[in-house]
Chain A
Amino acid sequence: GDSVTQMEGPVTLSEEAFLTINCTYTATGYPSLFWYVQYPGEGLQLLLKATKADDKGSNKGFEATYRKETTSFHLEKGSVQVSDSAVYFCALSPNTGNQFYFGTGTSLTVIP
C-alpha cells in the first residue's frame, strides 16, 4: 500500500544552518506530495506541495522537489531560524482519493 518514510529526529541545528529532512514514498500511480508543519499545541499547516514529477514546491524559504526516479521529496532550507522550530510531516495523497498518508514526523529545534 501507499506509505511515507521520513527521516527520524529529533534534529537540532544552530540558527542559519542548512536543513535537509529526507522523505521517500511508496505509491501506485502518481500521488501528490506535501510537507506539513505542526507547531506546539496546534494542528497541521500546509508548508508546500508538488502534484507531479519534477515539480518544486516552495514556501517561506523551504523547498522540496518531487523526484519520481528516486521516489523522494526531501525538504530543504538554506538558513533556518529559531521560529522554524516545529515538527515536520511528509505526506502523500494518492490519485484515487484525498486521504493522506503521513510520515512519523521530524522534530526540528533551532537554537540561537
Chain B
Amino acid sequence: ETGVTQSPTHLIKTRGQQVTLRCSSQSGHNTVSWYQQALGQGPQFIFQYYREEENGRGNFPPRFSGLQFPNYSSELNVNALELDDSALYLCASSSEILNTEAFFGQGTRLTVV
C-alpha cells in the first residue's frame, strides 16, 4: 500500500469525449507525475507537477492537460479522446523533485470505444 490513490479504477468513454482522472498523493509529497501505460508496454511520462506548477512534459499533445491543487492532489484531463488513448494511467508521487523514489497508485484503466 503506497498511500497514492487514484479514481476511478476503470472507465469507458466514447471517442471524442473528455475524461478527468484523479490522484491523491501520499501525505507529505509535493510532486505528482502522470504516466500512460499501453498494454504490454512500459509507462510513458506525460507530465509532472511540483507545487501546483507544471514541471516537465513528455511527448504528448496539448489535449492532455493537468492540474495540481494546494493539497497536492492532481487531475489529468484528456480532451477529444482517441482509440489509442486506451491505456492504464498511473499517478506517482514523491517528496522532492530530484532523484527520489516515486510511489505509484494502482492506476485508472481507460477504455475508449
Binding site for B on A (CB under 8 A): 4, 6, 31-32, 34, 36, 42-46, 49, 51, 89, 91, 93, 95-105
- B102 near A97: Cβ-Cβ < 8 Å: no
Of B2, B43, B98, B105, which one neighbours A98 at CB under 8 angstroms? B98
- A97 near B41: Cβ-Cβ < 8 Å: no
> In this complex, what residue of B is CB-closest to A105?
B42
Are A98 and B90 also in contact (CB < 8 A) when A44-B104, A49-B101 are?
no
Query: What residues on A are CB-neighbors of B45 within 8 Å?
Result: 99-101
- B48 near A44: Cβ-Cβ < 8 Å: no
Instruction: Say yes or no: is B94 at the interface (Cβ < 8 Å to chain A).
Output: yes
Of B35, B104, B107, which one neighbours A45 at CB under 8 angstroms? B104
Instruction: Say yes or no: is B33 at the interface (Cβ < 8 Å to chain A).
Output: yes
Taken together as a complex, chains A and B put the C-alpha atoms of A93 and B90 apart, in Å, by: 16
Are A44 and B98 also in contact (CB < 8 A) when A99-B48, A102-B43, A103-B42 are?
no
Binding site for A on B (CB under 8 A): 2, 4, 31, 33, 35, 40-45, 48, 55-56, 58, 90, 92, 94, 96-107
* A9 → chain B closest CB, angstroms: 10
Taken together as a complex, chains A and B put the C-alpha atoms of A51 and B100 apart, in Å, by: 9
Query: What residues on B are CB-neighbors of A103 within 8 Å?
Result: 42
- A104 near B48: Cβ-Cβ < 8 Å: no
* Residue contacts A-B, CB under 8 angstroms, 9 given: A34-B101, A43-B2, A43-B104, A43-B106, A44-B92, A46-B102, A99-B33, A100-B102, A102-B43
Query: What residues on B are CB-neighbors of A6 within 8 Å?
Result: 42
Are A99 and B58 also in contact (CB < 8 A) when A43-B2, A43-B105, A51-B99 are?
yes
- B99 near A89: Cβ-Cβ < 8 Å: no
Are A102 and B106 also in contact (CB < 8 A) when A46-B101, A95-B99, A97-B97 are?
no
- B48 near A42: Cβ-Cβ < 8 Å: no
Of B2, B58, B99, B104, which one neighbours A93 at CB under 8 angstroms? B99
